Chains A and B, each alone.
Chain A
């Protein structure tokens, strides 16, 4: 019995929609079967809360009197440089930007205590940040310097715009070398001292819609505590990887580009993160509702951690040197148990993405839908899927001629 998004929205409006989380649907499908579950359940909510480096926000800070052209100059927010290659008073702050005086890894491993992601978190928390700018001055924008405090509510627009979030599956990182290494997957202890993973597994948005049957451009989502949209596929979107029988990818695959009004968001769901020896990143909370349009979709949402696999990759040599190959394939159920077996050794596991918070997000989104505060949207276009023939390219370096 197929349903439409319009029918589901009518049910939400009447307070009659049946909404469950991607965790709760597992037992429902197990007990009632996919056919009955698809008839009874209208929406399944997913969630994820993990570091997503390809994130940032753009701002229109308002014009000064006399006018200044920040575009093409230098602008710092709390000493973190913004991208200024836009119009006069539009700035883009990237999550991974670091303060101008940060020693970075010159004192290894660097702390990276404050960066773009922290500026975004501070702004969302309602704090004032210092905008310091130098401009070159023009006839129409004569002013050359600016040094002011600014809050989110002072700005005309503040928009979170993340080119790549929500990775559909990810590597499990280990270290085969004899020394400690510091990576974006955390600190990895020598000789398989630990294994770090980064996915919400059975709650993760794209693992519940493996072939992008419902998520597309225009899908309304929970983003950073507010409402946002999927606006494109994310960068490095790579649907063509090997998949399991349940259609979920066994390697990192699809990604999402997302966007939303920063002024609606909350510091609880957008958090600056400092990875020792690596850098700064933004931990983003995302929840995507999946309309249960048919039996196949409900079967996808009932996927369990034991049915989802990830590749164990060595980050001491293979990852940096781009040597293909996986040490082992493990399930998220194994990863979440606290240890995995690798080469006859029991290796403790650590998460980089918070399952606990992913669960909270799926629950919050469920509540919002039940309370008629959140309606589903019809995507205007789909995301490229397995038939799109996308090739994931490395950079083909062609050395420029020396003059």
Chain B
């Protein structure tokens, strides 16, 4: 079983494609939508987590690319600029996955890429612009 979080950017003409149906039915993949922004006749963006056999996963991603959908890994989506962070902890209560966390002894903030689902809730909360979305 392999898991992968990806950001899909759809060109206008592909927005109406029922890709989730095909990924489940034809490629036997589990699909978890983390975030979506798709409007008909416009460009759309979907952040999904795909899991399944490695072979099926690769084939599923190839299928998406074949449709002209841009596929990017989620790992580089939110960047924490440590040098800009003042460890104030303002971001902590808004992070739903504890990707931003605090050592309660030193009150030092740290960021775990693995836990981040790129929900962007932290972005407007940081007064020092230490968190940046990178699409």
Chain A residues within CB distance 8 Å of chain B: 49-51, 109, 111, 113, 186-187, 189, 193-196, 271, 273-277, 281, 283, 336-338, 348-357, 359
Contact = CB atoms under 8 A, between A and B. Distances in A.
A276 B124 contact: yes
A187 B125 contact: yes
Given A271-B128, A336-B107, A338-B104, A350 B91 contact: yes
Contact of B92 (A111, A350, A353): A350
Contacts of B102: 338
Contacts of B17: none
Nearest to A348: B93
Contacts, number: 80
Contact of B127 (A51, A336, A355): A51
B129 A354 contact: no
Nearest to B84: A271
* B contact face: mostly helix, strand, loop, or mixed: loop
Contact of A352 (B88, B107, B108, B129): B88
13 contacts: A189-B93, A189-B94, A271-B128, A273-B128, A274-B127, A276-B124, A350-B88, A351-B92, A352-B88, A352-B90, A354-B86, A354-B89, A357-B88
Contact of B107 (A186, A195, A276, A359): A359
Contacts of B87: 354-357
Interface residues of B, number: 20
A356 B108 contact: yes
A179 B102 CA distance: 27
Contacts of A356: 86-87, 106-109
B94 A271 contact: no
Given A109-B124, A354-B88, A194 B94 contact: yes
A357 B86 contact: yes
B110 to A, nearest CB: 11
Interface centre among A193, A271, A273 (most CB of B within 10 A): A273
Given A50-B88, A109-B124, A355-B107, 8 more contacts: A277-B124, A281-B127, A350-B90, A350-B91, A350-B93, A354-B87, A356-B108, A359-B107
